[in-house]
A and B are shown apart, each in its own frame.
Chain A
């Protein structure tokens, strides 16, 4: 592959340095932004192959480059109206996919939101 850079350490002009592994390990390995209303679709993503619409508010994002194990970290965000106490959560971590749910209210009923985002950090297989 052209343009390869091999470096164990990154250093600023002021002399501060950091191991390259910090940058690699701290980078998001997968993320997605999806529209869960109308005919659902992925707006943009990294390392995703498909989105499965299970039911209202419940989806699975499948990965192209699998995670090494099921202990990767996920952060989520949605634009559900705060009046409904809406949120988005993890249902299942698998190495090849993430099942997630967008919900509102005390009963945590799955619901569709126009913006659903998740970002995933961890080691890849």
Chain B
């Protein structure tokens, strides 16, 4: 199925088209990361509808658009976005394969302080793995850390 020409169409409308037209894709990939020594590991789970849109192409904006909006929201006098047009008017990205989609998602939804230097220090603070590598129950969830086995 070809994606309509979406540049200039509100992103939310594009997502509506994707949800109606594409089959959701349940990725087995998970991103495990630690952003504080005092807290347990976090786990990022890709949204199946978002994955379908990313792998279709022509729907999502480039990831730098989200960085620009994040800069605006970080301003102390921020009240409301005034550059939302970046989401809708920027040329959408082409189709991504599954791994590239996960990399995009990391750069969109995880703090840059994690992914920009994930492998600095004594042990990695971020790992991409398959869900089968994670504990299958939630027992002791608040004590989960990145294990040596997972880091390897």
Contact = CB atoms under 8 A, between A and B. Distances in A.
A32 B69 CA distance: 23
Interface residues of B, number: 48
Contacts of A53: 42-45
Contacts, number: 119
A66 B87 contact: yes
B46 A50 contact: yes
B-side binding surface: helix, strand, loop or mixed?
mixed
B15 A46 contact: yes
Interface stretch (A6-14, A15-23, A78-86, A92-100): A92-100
A46 B49 contact: yes
A64 B53 CA distance: 11
Contacts of A64: 11, 15, 50, 53, 60
Looking at A38, A48, A125, the one whose CB has the most chain B CB atoms below 10 A away is A125
A75 B134 CA distance: 31
A52 B45 CA distance: 6
A42 B138 CA distance: 16
B142 A41 contact: no
Contacts of A115: none
A1 to B, nearest CB: 5
User: In which size bucket is the chain A interface?
Assistant: 35 or more
B82 to A, nearest CB: 9
A41 B45 contact: yes
Contact of B4 (A1, A65, A97): A1
B107 to A, nearest CB: 11
A51 interface: yes
A47 B83 CA distance: 19
Nearest to B54: A49
Contacts of B150: none
B66 interface: yes
Given A41-B26, A96-B73, 11 more contacts: A1-B9, A44-B48, A51-B45, A52-B110, A55-B39, A55-B141, A64-B53, A64-B60, A95-B81, A112-B141, A124-B84
26 contacts: A1-B5, A1-B9, A29-B12, A37-B138, A38-B137, A39-B134, A41-B45, A42-B45, A45-B47, A46-B19, A46-B49, A49-B50, A49-B105, A50-B47, A50-B108, A52-B110, A53-B42, A53-B43, A53-B44, A54-B40, A55-B142, A56-B138, A65-B11, A66-B69, A95-B81, A112-B138
5 nearest CB pairs, A to B? A125-B84, A125-B81, A65-B11, A65-B12, A53-B43
